[in-house]
Amino acid sequence: MSDTQTPAPAKLNPATMARQQVELAAKQLDIDPGVLQKITATKRELTVHFPVRMDDGSLRMFTGYRVQHNDTRGPFKGGIRYHPDTDLDEVRALAMWMTWKAAVVHIPFGGAKGGVQCNPKEMSPHELERLTRRFTWELIPVLGPERDIPAPDVYTNPQVMAWIMDTYSIMHGHTVPGIVTGKPLELGGSLGRFEATGRGVFITASEAARHLGLNIEGARVVVQGSGNVGGVAARMFARAGAKVLAISDSRGGVHNPHGLDVERVLSCKNQYQCFISDRLEASDITNAELLELDCDILIPAAMECVITKDNAPRVRARIVVEGANGPTTPEADEMLHDAGVFMVPDILANAGGVTVSYFEWVQNLQNLLWSEDEIDSRLSGIMRKAFSEVLAISHQKKLPMRTAALMLGIDRVAKAQELRGVYP
């Protein structure tokens, strides 16, 4: 790098960000400092280095993580992601957010998260299966349907969950469907689970719009992400009559100021593994440009730390609904709040996934099968109630929605910890 070049900005640390959020919320709560320290610290952190035989016969080492943050209110619960940038601090932050998220929607789970540092886009299905089964084997001592229940996350899916379930079941000598959620329906998965996170984003966005007097029909929506969060949410907005102006994946996206044909866009993505703008009557747009579009509702539904102090002044949305975990840094959060942007924070907005995961887990433990209508109705009721509770705290204390959501979640975990006490 020459002396005249500007160095790349340092990567934001999600674990630091998560702790800063807790500190802000804790100032508003009357919690014993020791209890706060106990529920903020991770209970267990596992780092494993394991070999995988690749298709060309070579042996390659991978690094994986499972962080179990807190199980005061129930078994550890959290996804497993496959991503080249996954590291221990990222997983620590995600595990903590899962704890607060489950508490906000009053689901009896604790928080955990896992990941493997890899690029699944460069791996064959057979390599991914071998990686998954070996990683599961490494985690078996800390997993269990009443101990720690994984789920899909970034670049993992129902097939990955099926491999985890099968590997765990083989090791225990009998089928254990409750060891994971987000499984295929054929293996005990729940109806509505794939759409759950995106549906929860749509429900909370609709509640925010109703609160602000904004009609969803005709509302201008921008979505960063096109998977089972962004893609599902975009479909639901389009079906409700909103105009989805832009949508993207990790490589960029497409934009039409008059609105996109969402079904056509997602079909193009599925068929060609990318967006082809000239087939979609749209122009190309970068992920950075997408975040700065003039819109009513912005949904960052991809990765962490995409809205920062550097681009927050250029965010022109009226409502931001966090489909991803941790997409907004604390500095950007404050700037958006000062600018009058209504924020629906991640631990509320994307809690639909853990909610329907809970439904799946309950069905597995009791050998039940609920209808999709029943699941959608239960999910809607829980999400709307949680939104109402967070909004009430925000109004009563005159605080941002994120602080209010964290207060609700942290206080519930702290009260559970006080009731359980410390043994011996």
User: Measured between alpha carbons, how far is 200 from 221 in angstroms, rounded to an integer?
Assistant: 16
List Cα–Cα distances, 175 to 76, 133, 171, 308, in angstroms.
Answer: 20, 15, 10, 45
Angle at alpha carbon of residue 396, lines to 395 and 402, rounded to 5°: 55
CB atoms within 10 A of CB 55: 11
Per-residue tokens: 407: 């207060």
Q: Using CB atoms within 10 A of its CB, is residue 38 exposed (0-12), middle (13-18) or buried (19+)?
A: middle
**Bond from prior residue into 424 cis (ω within 30 degrees of 0):** yes
Question: Between β-strands 76-83 and 148-152, what pairing exists: parallel, antiparallel or unpaired?
Answer: parallel
CB atoms within 10 A of CB 237: 26
Per-residue tokens: 385: 């109630």
User: Measured between alpha carbons, how far is 58 from 61 in angstroms, rounded to an integer?
Assistant: 10
**Three-class HEC string of 324-379:** CCCCECHHHHHHHHHCCCEEECHHHHCCHHHHHHHHHHHHHHHCCCCCHHHHHHHH
Question: Residue 226 in 3-state DSSP?
Answer: coil
Per-residue tokens: 127: 């390599």
User: Measured between alpha carbons, how far is 285 from 303 in angstroms, rounded to an integer?
Assistant: 17
Residues 6+ apart with CB under 8 A from 302: 224, 225, 230, 248, 249, 250, 287, 324, 327
Considering the candidates 101, 113, 243, 269, report the single residue annotated as catalytic: 113
243 is catalytic: no
User: Measured between alpha carbons, how far is 319 from 186 in angstroms, rounded to an integer?
Assistant: 38
User: Measured between alpha carbons, how far is 368 from 401 in angstroms, rounded to an integer?
Assistant: 36
User: Measured between alpha carbons, how far is 364 from 126 in angstroms, rounded to an integer?
Assistant: 28
The conformation of residue 212, written as its DSSP 8-state character, comes to H
Question: Residue 115 in 3-state DSSP?
Answer: strand
Place of tokens 């179990």: 68
* Catalytic residue list: 113
